[in-house]
Structure 1
Amino acid sequence: MTIAHWVVGDGPAVLLVHAGVADARMWARQVAELRRDHRVITVDLRGYGETPLEPGAKYSDAGDVLAVLDELGVDSVEAVGSSYGGYVVQQAASRQPERFNRLVLICAPTDGVEPTEDLRAVWAEEERLLEAGDVDGATDLMVRSWIGPEADAEARELLRVMQKRAFDVQLAAGDVDNEEYPVEPEKIGAPVRLITGAHDFGWFGACAAYLAERLPNAEHIDLPWAGHLPTLERPSEALNLIG
């Protein structure tokens, strides 16, 4: 199956991979600018946006992303991943490091770092609400938890719509088997920019610090104003960080 994807603009290829509470729509304002001098590729991972998720499916998000690049004939790409999308990018770049000429990882998790208790509490409450059938309550929880204080009402509503869509698709699919490739930072020789937010859960800062120690060519930028989704919270300022 080919996942839903979009390509606009001309120039060097840049791939944008969305967060696990969102879909490709989160990048709309960045795409509008980047397309002026880049070939911009956005995707909806399985179970998000316009990409379905079949019950019992066996797949790999990172494998799907690499397959899209294959289909488009992209041999060299700059990849930007937000949150879970940054984790997918790490997997793909560990698998085929020669293909990636630069990475930007925004508030991304990684292997080898244990989640913090405050984050575990949010996940537990999300699970409780979903098991109770309260999808709207779980959606509200995700919006409160994952977007920072700088976000406007439009950004919050977009996040609500994207997360609700993901819950609806994924709950209908039930249990699936998403293979995660190993993340091997030492193999990723391309420059990597690690972006974190001061208002985010502490785990993501710990993940960035862990990666910074192991990636051959990394820089870490912590944004004092940002929560977990800076590209939605201050779209223009975030563009300068990923461009």
Structure 2
Amino acid sequence: MDVALAHAAAGAGDPPIVFIHGLCCDRRAWQPQFDDLSRDHRCIAVDLRGRGETPAQPPFGIARAAQDVAALIDRLGLGRSVIVGHSLGGITALVLNELRPDLVLGIVTGDSPISEPRGGGANPLVQRIRDLGTREGLRPLVETFFTDETPAAAREYAETVMYSCPPEVAAGMLEDAPEVLGRLPDLVRLADEKPFMAIWAERPLGDPAWLRNMTKFARQEPLPGTGHFFQLEQPERTNALLRAFLDDVAADPRLR
């Protein structure tokens, strides 16, 4: 069933920017960047299915999320947009680029699980969430997201929003992850044909070295001292990186 994604919209100016949150989060994950960049660009921040104000209508997986975001871009008439995705939202951005390359001008992934595919099979985290519930199922993972320097407000947002996610939504968002992550070599090669930037936390969730070996043009930006929610921990530095990336987009000869 089609679902119209709830979203925040603000600003004017090209290129449009679409912000996608990660696992179990909502559009507030990119709030500082949405507020800053909407001064000069048309910005959209989405709530994926079952998160924020969007109804919990299955399926919730990555492929469905990419289709939903494409439908929203079409409905709003945004045209080619810069897609910015945090964590699992970055993987959604890569899938969106494969699905509808005509809608994607450039891609930014934020500490996304981009690394060499290893094996296959079911994701054990899905069963853990179903057995223990979202809070206990996710707690070992979420606890790795923070550093000693993580501001209390950033940690409070992450824990509150993630642990409150219904188990069927949390598990559903990960159901097709093994299949999607298994296609990462192809997805990152496609992304590398356009402006592509990967921002990494101090302890990256993915593998920057692997991404470097897989791409020719991708820009990689580590943010030392940050946890997984780097954009809430160091918003001004993140904003500056996104503005620099927009300059890259404007100057990229491949887009002319």
Name the TM-score class by shorter chain.
0.7 to 0.9
**Aligned equivalent of 2:161:** 162
**Aligned equivalent of 1:196:** 200
Unaligned 5+ residue runs, structure 2? Answer: 244-256
- Percent identity between matched residues is 28
Measured in 2, the distance between the counterparts of 1:138 and 1:85 equals: 20
Conservation of the 8 A alpha-carbon contact between 2:70 and 2:96 = yes
**Aligned equivalent of 2:18:** 15
**Aligned equivalent of 1:209:** 209
User: What TM-score comes out, normalization by structure 1 length?
Assistant: 0.80
Task: Mark the CA change 1:149 to 1:94 in structure 2 (over 3 Å): closer, same or farther.
Answer: farther
Shift in Å at residue 130 of structure 1?
A: 5.2
**Aligned equivalent of 1:113:** 117
Per-residue CA deviation, residues 23-72 of structure 1 (Å, 9 max, x unaligned), is 10111111111111011111011122222223567871110110010001
Aligned-partner SS, 1:16: strand
Per-residue CA deviation, residues 162-201 of structure 1 (Å, 9 max, x unaligned), is 1123235627989987995955333332111111122234
Shift in Å at residue 22 of structure 1?
A: 1.6
Shift in Å at residue 240 of structure 1?
A: 1.2
**Aligned equivalent of 2:40:** 37
Shift in Å at residue 140 of structure 1?
A: 4.6
- Pick aligned residue for 1:65 from 60, 63, 69: 69
Measured in 1, the distance between the counterparts of 2:173 and 2:237 equals: 38
Measured in 2, the distance between the counterparts of 1:197 and 1:230 equals: 6
Farther-moved stretch of structure 1 (19-28 vs 141-150): 141-150
> Size of the alignment, in residue pairs?
232
Task: Mark the CA change 1:57 to 1:65 in structure 2 (over 3 Å): closer, same or farther.
Answer: closer
Task: Mark the CA change 1:210 to 1:166 in structure 2 (over 3 Å): closer, same or farther.
Answer: same
Measured in 2, the distance between the counterparts of 1:214 and 1:222 equals: 18
Measured in 2, the distance between the counterparts of 1:86 and 1:224 equals: 20
**Aligned equivalent of 1:78:** 82
Aligned partner letter, 1:131: D
Aligned-partner SS, 1:47: coil
Measured in 1, the distance between the counterparts of 2:68 and 2:242 equals: 23
Farther-moved stretch of structure 1 (124-133 vs 182-191): 124-133
Measured in 2, the distance between the counterparts of 1:210 and 1:223 equals: 18
**Aligned equivalent of 1:231:** 231
Farther-moved stretch of structure 1 (231-240 vs 71-80): 231-240
**Aligned equivalent of 1:119:** none
Task: Mark the CA change 1:239 to 1:185 in structure 2 (over 3 Å): closer, same or farther.
Answer: same
Task: Mark the CA change 1:140 to 1:192 in structure 2 (over 3 Å): closer, same or farther.
Answer: same
Aligned partner letter, 1:167: P
**Aligned equivalent of 1:118:** none
Measured in 1, the distance between the counterparts of 2:173 and 2:97 equals: 29
Aligned-partner SS, 1:36: coil
Aligned-partner SS, 1:91: helix
User: What TM-score comes out, normalization by structure 2 length?
Assistant: 0.76
Measured in 2, the distance between the counterparts of 1:69 and 1:79 equals: 11
CA-based RMSD of the aligned residues comes to 3.3
Measured in 1, the distance between the counterparts of 2:172 and 2:211 equals: 33
